[in-house]
Structure 1
Amino acid sequence: MAEVAPAPHAASPPTLFQKVRRLSLELAAHLSDADATVQSMPDASPAKWHLAHTTWFFETFVLRDHVPGYQLHDPRWPFLFNSYYEAEGERHARDRRGMITRPTLDEVRAYRAHVDHAVLRAWPDLPDEARALVELGCHHEQQHQELLLTDLTHLFAQNPLEPAVWPASTRAPVAVPGPANWIEHGGGVAEIGHGGAGFAFDCETPRHAVLLQPFAVADRAVTNAEWAAFIADGGYDSPGHWLADGWAWARANAVRAPLYWEGDGEGWTSFALDGRRPVDPAAPVAHISFYEADAYASWAGARLPTEAEWEVAAAGADPLGGDQLDGPGPATPAPVRPGARPGFFGGTWEWTGSAFRPYPGFRTAAGAVGEYNGKFMSGQFVLRGGSSASPRGHLRASYRNFFAPDKRWQVTGLRLARDR
């Protein structure tokens, strides 16, 4: 289970709880019942399901288990809104979540209001274990806020009208940055992982020593302009740059550009929640798979950083800085400004070359919450840094996101590394 001692700057759980719960509703405020019900692919979930599942988490692990006499809002709904917790019993199939036309979106909103009221009313009498679960549930819901946005992007991209959920962002044009600079590190023994005060998910622990060879990482993420050069140079047609599995995946799925890109070398466009727009050459490339990121790094004469290299390089950066989610909006990565200080947080999640495996000494917690991360430590790669769809305040240097290597509907990009 996650360590939950509050950091000095952190909001108390009731304040954090109210803030997080309010943002989820704001992100879904412009959706119709149909918008919030449809599921575009098995990996994605309907917005209505995200709103209900995060509520089920609080109702199940806090109210049901720690508040004497609490009665479930609807005893049929745990079957619908359990995600993957085997200890909680049978559940609705993940690839059929889009078939849950009832309860309606308004009924889910009422469910949220019922559970919110019950949690806040129970807070003064909750034991420490339950308070820790409230904090875990808040960070869990922040993860689902990002998923809600990326799942909606995939959903609306399937509509031939490519409708916009929000007006286009009004960002001033930025000059395309020049070549990235390199941040050198001499290697040696370093420590990574979460330790001390503040919240962290269980997979970020325990803090431990690693031995690093001398390395360097780029001071910024790869941009759309650089990715367009990779395409123009035949990057998607050169098997020598690709892992065998990646080449097979790209061929089988006719992958020729990042997800949501359309066009050619004369002018690329990309779809987001503010509609289809010209690709901003100065913005970080997004919606690429691990396979694509690894191929680009090979083409560029570099490699992906390990997660240990990334964390050591980012240790002094501000996790509250960078391009992150502050409220409803399209949540597309902002352009990289020439001459800006090196940043490691926000913009796009950055693929690393590290498999998502347990740290030395990792132990899963007892009970259903022990299924949160440990059971997924197979066949996935680690991403670091957060994205423009990550709620501000949710990130830290030790944060480990993870996805299978072929997934790219998340706001995923890359930063280059090299040996010294």
Structure 2
Amino acid sequence: MSITDDRAGRQAADDVEHLRDRVARTLQRARTRTELLTDSVDDADLVAQHSSIMSPLVWDLAHIGNQEELWLVRDVGGRESVRADIDEMYDAFKTPRKNRPALPLLDPTQARAYVRSVRDEALDVLSNTRFAGNRLVEGGFAFGMVAQHEQQHDETMLATHQLRVGAPVLHAPPTPRPATSLRPGAETVVAAGTFEMGTSVDPWALDNERPAHTVDVPAFAIDTFPVTNGQYLDFIADGGYDRRELWSERGWQHRVEAGLTAPQFWYSDGDGWGHDVFGQRGPVDPDRPVVHVSWFEADACARWLGKRLPTEAEWEKAARWDPTSGSSRTYPWGDEHPEAGVHDRRANLGQTHLEPAAIGAYPDGASATGVQQMIGDVWEWTSSDFHSYPGFRFFPYAEYSEVFHGGDYKVLRGGSFGTDPVAVRGTFRNWDHPIRRQIFAGFRCARDVVAG
């Protein structure tokens, strides 16, 4: 073997060990968060269903373990099942959420023991994986997919915590305040032209983010910041919930049937508006992005502001396109992955805080086009329906996203304060029904720009 070949071999071995270490740390970060969300409440809370549209926390816990067993222990590792008898009970497509409390679920002690056993097996599989030989393991994809899956359920469990009734059990430091006062409603104009949307190279990108493709986007203006509570308070004060002309036909019908008068978890205390944040009651901060609004509410408020919701392509171009280089970034600020579990000056992610930060709090996270807080704080509703990209192929299973394409879903982008960095990037696509409000969703506005 030549010296060059020897060096190349050592570098390849180092790369494998570096990836293995990254996978292990990412899996552990997810598990630490899962344990925080489930250990912070008693067994009665774990088995309770706090909303008919949410699972009992104990179901989410065992489901996390079951998916890890299916993909890492059985598929990647080729090992015997840990608990094949529970596969159907923890299959999200075979057990609707409203029916899950009636199932013979693993109790909290059994669920914790199960996920520990699965993790021990998965880490042993990891120690023997070379990340080559098939698409499932190349670049550590299956491990990254499982880590993202756990973190996605952690955010769902965080939403369940917001819905539960009782004394606060989650605590986090306050979000940073901006250094200067910034004007809500400020805009950034993005020039017309093509950009590369999606990705074909990110090893942990999920199937609906693929493949990369060129999109031609007309010039548009987009809000520099998400819409704030203060702007939304003005919408309410101006009769926004009573003005039929501001709402789509479906939106107005839902507003009336659901009796919507304000974002979820808001209440009027006589002197103004307050809100409940994980069991803590307090006044609505006008400088923070509004959260817990449905797509219908976002659409109506955008119309009241004289604007509209951005398309998914507009949102991604504003977040990723660098007009100087003509290329698309991984994140608004560049290609450097945000830190998790510690304060990062670029984005409010990872449940480091328990609320959105005031606008202007993360100037270092601005995109090349000058738009701020596009990653973290609140998921942002777009005007786009959830469809596949040209050339889409599901991988590794259709039930992750393909079965939802073309349904009654709107695309959300950017992640929230409750989204882990592994589960969001400039190409990441989330989706939900336009009536949903329990998710940590807000919005920013856009408008057409007429060439002149």
- Aligned-CA RMSD value: 2.5
How many residues align? The count is: 399
Q: Is 2:380 the partner of 1:350?
A: yes
| Residue aligning to 1:242 | 247
Deviations 1:180-230 (A, max 9, x none): 321111212222111323311100111111121110111100111110000
Q: Which residue of 2 aligns with 1:78?
A: 87
Q: Given that residues 176 and 225 in structure 1 are in contact (C-alpha distance below 8 angstroms), is that contact kept between their aligned partners in structure 2?
A: no
Unaligned runs of 5+ in 2: 1-14, 323-331, 339-345, 367-371
Within the alignment, does 1:199 sit opposite 2:228 as a pair?
A: no
1:108 equivalent in alignment to 2:111: yes
Matches within 5 A, 1:380-395: 380-395=409-424
The alpha-carbon distance between structure 1 residues 339 and 266, as it changes in their structure 2 partners (threshold 3 A), is farther
1:370 aligned residue (393, 398, 406):
398
Which of 112, 121, 126 aligns to 1:123? It is: 126
8 A Cα contact 1:176 1:281, kept in partner: no
CA distance in structure 2 between the aligned counterparts of 1:215 and 1:31, rounded to whole angstroms: 47
- Structure 1 unaligned blocks of 5 or more: 85-90
Aligned match of 2:315 in 310, 325, 336? 310
Q: For the structure 1 residues 402 and 339, does the alpha-carbon distance in structure 2 shift closer, same or farther, using more than 3 Å as the test?
A: closer
Contact between 1:142 and 1:394, CA under 8 Å: does it hold in 2? Answer: yes
Q: CA deviation at 1:25?
A: 1.1
Q: What is the deviation of 1:172?
A: 7.3
Q: Does the 8 Å contact 1:176/1:338 carry over to 2? A: no
Alignment of 1:53 onto 2:63: yes
Whole-Å separation in 2 of the counterparts to 1:344 and 1:66:
35
Alpha-carbon shift at residue 9 of structure 1 (Å):
9.3
Letter in 2 for 1:307: E
- The offset of 1:135, in angstroms, is 1.9
Distance 1:114 1:248 in 2: 49
Residue 206 and residue 112 in structure 1: after superposition, are their counterparts in 2 closer, same or farther (change >3 A)? same
Give yes or no for contact 2:264–2:438 (8 Å, CA) kept in 1: yes
Query: 94, 98, 121: which is aligned to 1:95?
Result: 98
C-alpha contact 1:346 1:386 (8 A) present in aligned 2: yes
Contact 1:37 1:101 in 2 (8 A): no
Among candidates 442, 445, 449, match of residue 413 of structure 1: 442
Within the alignment, does 1:262 sit opposite 2:274 as a pair? Answer: no
1:64 Cα offset (Å): 2.4
SS at match of 1:235: coil
The code of the aligned residue for 2:44 comes to: A
Tell me if structure 2 keeps the 8 A contact 1:350–1:414: yes
Give the 3 Å change call, closer, same or farther, for CA 103–339 of structure 1 in structure 2. closer
| 3-state DSSP of counterpart to 1:371 | coil
Paired residues for 1:159-308 under 5 Å: 159=165, 162-167=166-171, 169-170=173-174, 177-263=182-268, 266-308=271-313
Which residue is equivalent to 2:9? none
CA deviation profile, 1:286-334 (whole Å, cap 9, x unmatched): 000000000001000001111111111111623732111255x6x2212
Structure with higher RCO (Cα < 8 A, 6+ apart):
1
Using the size of structure 2 for normalisation, the TM-score is 0.82
The separation in 2 between residues aligned to 1:168 and 1:16, in whole angstroms, is: 21
| Identical pairs, percent | 31
Q: Which residue in 1 is equivalent to 2:425?
A: 396
CA 1:142–1:67 in structure 2 vs 1: closer, same or farther (change >3 Å)? same
Residue 160 of structure 2 aligns to a residue whose secondary structure is helix
Cα gap change, 1:312/1:300 in structure 2, threshold over 3 Å: closer, same or farther?
same
Match of residue 24 from structure 1: 34
What do the CA deviations read for 1:15-39 (whole angstroms, capped 9, x no partner)? 3222222221122221111111112
Structure 1 segment 314-353 matched on structure 2, within 5 A: 314-315=319-320, 317-318=332-333, 320=338, 321-327=346-352, 331-337=354-360, 340=363, 342-353=372-383
The answer on whether the counterparts of 1:178 and 1:338 sit within 8 Å (CA) in structure 2 is no
In structure 2, relative to structure 1, the CA distance for the partners of 1:67 and 1:109 (3 Å cut) is same
- Deviation of 1:102 after TM superposition, in Å, equals 4.4
Find the counterpart in structure 1 of residue 25 from structure 2.
15
- Decide whether the 8 Å contact of 2:69 with 2:81 is kept in 1: no
2:47 alignment partner, one of 32, 37, 41: 37
Choose 369-378 or 271-280, whichever is displaced more.
271-280
| Greater C-alpha Rg | 2
Aligned-partner Cα distance in 2 for 1:12–1:376: 31
CA shift at 1:274, angstroms?
Answer: 4.3
- Aligned residues of 2:209 and 2:427 also touching (Cα < 8 A): yes
